[in-house]
């Protein structure tokens, strides 16, 4: 069992630790272009001060915490990108504790985030972007009800060839049918 709580400044160090001894590609894969390699607490703090102020922002940044141990194991963000049409976007989703990947924690975090988006924020659609080689993430998203809307080719020049990105989405009505 997990719970989502707002990220706080004391969580930034752990996020940096998850990215130590990793590549710039690893950082970009989960965080996008927001942060530069190597990741520092100052970068995260600047982002939070300028973008994620809970009472002033449409960005909801959560830490994923294991209920049993109170351990902080990952992050997920929900950004309301279109207030008129009520569209949100999942971003910066990472299970940082590698030993816990593949154990259903990401699935639970995604389900909880969708519930917040559709029930509390009254969103009508939630989108995300995922690189086409990230098969585990794509499977989790599809199992949650997301559909691939389009494939964007050559969106990121990485250390290897260019990366392709799937844009995926789930509508509130589809989510409600799946969860009734």
Q: Which helix (DSSP H) or strand (DSSP E) does residue 163 occupy?
A: strand 162-171
Bigger pLDDT: 56 vs 170:
170
For the residues 74-101, what does the mean pLDDT come to?
A: 96
> How far is CA 74 from its chain centroid?
9
CB atoms within 10 A of CB 2: 21
pLDDT of residue 54: 54
pLDDT per position as a tens digit, 89-112: 999 999 999 999 999 999 999 999
Give the model's confidence band at 148: pLDDT under 50 very low, under 70 low, under 90 confident, else very high: very high
- The full set of domains in the chain, from first to last, is 2-126 (3.40.630.30)
Q: How far apart are the first and last CA of the chain?
A: 21
What is the per-residue pLDDT for 78? 98
pLDDT at 91: 97
**What pLDDT does residue 85 have?**
97
For 19-65, how does the pLDDT look when each residue is reduced to its tens digit (9 = 90+)? Answer: 999 999 999 999 999 899 999 999 999 999 888 875 668 999 999 99
Strand order of the β-sheet with 72-82 is 2-6, 59-66, 72-82, 87-95, 125-131, 162-171, 147-157
Q: For residue 28, what is the DSSP state?
A: H
Residue with tokens 């086409």: 132
What Rg do the C-alpha atoms of the chain give, in angstroms?
Answer: 16
Please give the mean pLDDT across all residues of the chain.
Answer: 95
Q: Is the pLDDT of residue 154 over 80?
A: yes
Average pLDDT of the residues in 74-85:
96
Indicate left, alpha or beta for 86 from its phi (over 0: left) and psi (-120 to 50: alpha): left
Cβ within 8 Å of residue 149, ≥6 positions away? 127, 166, 167, 168, 169
């Amino acid at each position: 069992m997990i719970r989502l709580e707002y990220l706080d400044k004391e969580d930034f160090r752990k996020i940096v630790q998850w990215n130590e001894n990793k590549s710039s590609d690893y950082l970009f894969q989960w965080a996008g272009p927001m942060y530069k390699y190597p990741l520092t607490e100052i970068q995260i703090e600047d982002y939070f001060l300028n973008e994620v102020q809970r009472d002033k922002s449409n960005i909801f940044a959560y830490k994923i915490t294991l209920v049993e141990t109170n351990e902080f194991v990952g992050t997920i963000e929900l950004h309301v990108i279109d207030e008129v049409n009520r569209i949100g976007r999942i971003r910066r989703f990472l299970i940082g504790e590698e030993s816990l990947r593949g154990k259903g924690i990401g699935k639970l975090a995604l389900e909880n985030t969708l519930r917040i988006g559709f029930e509390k924020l009254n969103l009508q659609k939630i989108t995300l972007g995922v690189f086409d080689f990230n098969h585990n993430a794509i499977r989790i998203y599809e199992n949650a009800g997301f559909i691939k809307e389009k494939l964007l080719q050559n969106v990121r020049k990485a250390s290897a060839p260019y990366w392709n990105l799937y844009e995926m989405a789930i509508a509130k009505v589809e989510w409600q049918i799946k969860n009734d």
